Structure 1
Amino acid sequence: MGGLMLSISWPSETLGRSIKFITSMRGNQFSASWRQATWLNPIYFGQIEMNESYKSYVSVLGRLLLALMFILSGFGKLTDIQGTAGFIASGGLPAPAVLAVVVGLFELLGGLTLVVGFQVRWAGLALALFTVAASVVFHAYWGAPAEQKFVTQLLFMKNMSVAGGMLLVSALGAGPLSVDARLQSR
């Protein structure tokens, strides 16, 4: 069974080389050690090396955390179509009841595809574009009243960060613990 290893390096001014602290865990055993690592770059200030097991589990956790917003939002829209339609209408969009259902399904299903890791490159791209568009329409802080500007800008920037995360998922894929990886290995 694979273990978890985390290696953190930083430069040592007095040695002219970097020092590397290595921890690893296999089963119930934990070990830690120090060793010298070669200084490869004079601008180098630190590096974290991660093994494949760590990357696998962290990619699942990252996908889950990114998807949670979409799953909860989609479910909320689908369980309150009338309220969601009213909010959509306030943005000046046509057919608010239809859009409420479509957007609710899109968010819910898009979030679920992220969790299981199915077609995440396309889902990440679609969710990123959707998030940017929704932010411009519903969180346009540049036109918000002064008393709402701070919170509206905060929501807009949070959504831009989520869109950035979705673009990373789109670029990097789901990782080894995913339906995509399982289908690719066949």
Structure 2
Amino acid sequence: MEQKQLDNAALWLRIGLGLVFIIGGTSKLSLLLDSSTEAAMVANYMGTTGYINELFQDYLFSAGLLCPWTFLTTLSAFELLSGVALAAGFLVRPLSLFYGFLLWTFVVSLPVDTVPGASVGVSTYTSPAIFVQIRDITLSGMMFVLFNLGAGALSIDERLRSISGVASKNSQDWQTLGLLLRFSLGMTFIVAGFFSGYAKIPSFATHQLVLMVLGLIFIFAHGKTLKMGAVACVLVMIWFMLQKFSIDKSLIKNLNGVKREFALAAAAIVLVKLGGGNRFSLQDMLLRVKSYYLFNRAVSK
């Protein structure tokens, strides 16, 4: 794999991930800094259908040193600035490593009610948190891929490195990174394909069978089949964006509704261009099993 291809892959991932945080940060700040909408925005995040469960609310706010508005505004400002930095290729490795772990906190902080036959008596999430937030898990995997690739093409980090005379280390193994990227993307489609009929689980306005097949392709396929699946993924993302668009909403509201899909499309474009390697593909696993039994047979003789 040529370094130029890897640098371009990093560029695609940076742009896709950067857009997620630029759009999300802008949307939140526009509501939090408006006196007519700030209370509703805080209530939305702190409520039973919000994103911060009781444990984390107690942990963050019970001491009285931090209030929800300050927390959300600071977090949203950081989200916006870090999104711009990622898109521009500045501090890419520190930010991608930080977000790679941070995105998992959105899973553990989500308020859910999944006890069979019981109900808390209020409207809340009734699907497992990891299913509801599966796209954030995919984004986490993308962040770890980006961390290993580095800032890539057209980045401030690489320009600063060049000015300082520090040579880039070209030691990335795309077999491993491609595996992580296709598994990360595949899990979103596996969950969507098998569970999209349940509450708050993404469906991408697409038939479950299509999503299921795409998920299996990302997990098990390689070569042309994988690339065809990645092309189909981009088309599904475009279709979903068109379905979500509403002339009655502002531009930022429309974009906020599909911000994660920009990143998913970027990941799929990388797989179209570079493939996902063949490590732990169905063919590779069958060869491993065959080699294992042939080796054992030879040893036993």
TM-score range, shorter chain: 0.5 to 0.7
Which one is further off, 143-152 or 99-108?
Answer: 143-152
Which one has a larger percent strand, Structure 1 or Structure 2? 1
> Which residue of the other structure, out of 163, 169, 172, is the alignment partner of 2:140?
163
SS at match of 2:44: helix
Q: Could you tell me which residue of structure 2 aligns to residue 110 of structure 1?
A: 82
TM-score, structure 1 length as denominator? Answer: 0.63
Output one character per residue of 1:15-63: Cα deviation in whole Å (capped at 9) or x when no partner. xxxxxxxxxxxxxxxxxxxxxxxxxxxxxxxxxxx44443333321221
2:7–2:152 contact (8 Å) kept in structure 1: yes
Q: Secondary structure at the match of 1:110?
A: helix
1:98 to 70, 82, 89: 70
Q: In structure 2, give the amino acid aligned to 1:89.
A: M
The CA distance in 2 between the partners of 1:68 and 1:153, in whole Å, is 23
Q: After superposition, where does 1:144-183 map in structure 2 within 5 Å?
A: 148-150=125-127, 153-183=130-160
Q: Which amino acid aligns with 1:79?
A: S
Determine the structure 2 residue equivalent to 1:73.
24
Whether contact under 8 Å (2:112, 2:125) holds in the other structure is no
C-alpha distance in 2 between matches for 1:141 and 1:69: 28
**TM-score, length-scaled by structure 2:** 0.40
Would you tell me which structure has more helix in proportion to its own residues? Answer: 2
Q: Which has the higher contact order (CA 8 A, sep 6+)?
A: 2
Aligned pair 1:136/2:108, yes or no? yes
- Which residue does 1:35 correspond to in 2? none
Partners of 1:57 and 1:78 in 2: how far apart?
A: 31
* 2:42 matched residue in structure 1: 85
Q: Structure 2: which 5+ runs fail to align? A: 33-37, 62-66, 164-301
Looking at structure 2, the residues matched to 139 and 68 of structure 1 have their Cα atoms a distance apart, in angstroms, of 26
| Matching residue's letter, 1:85 | V
Alpha carbons of structure 1 residues 70 and 155: separation in structure 2 relative to 1, 3 Å: farther
Letter in 2 for 1:163: S
Retained in 2: the 8 A contact 1:141–1:153? no
- Percent of pairs identical after alignment? 25
| Letter paired with 2:41 | T
- Any unmatched runs of 5+ in structure 1? 1-49
Superposed displacement of residue 73, structure 1? 0.8
Q: Distance in 1 between matches of 2:107 and 2:43?
A: 17
Superposition RMSD on alpha carbons, in Å? 2.8
Deviations 1:59-109 (A, max 9, x none): 212211112111111111101112332233222422110011111111111
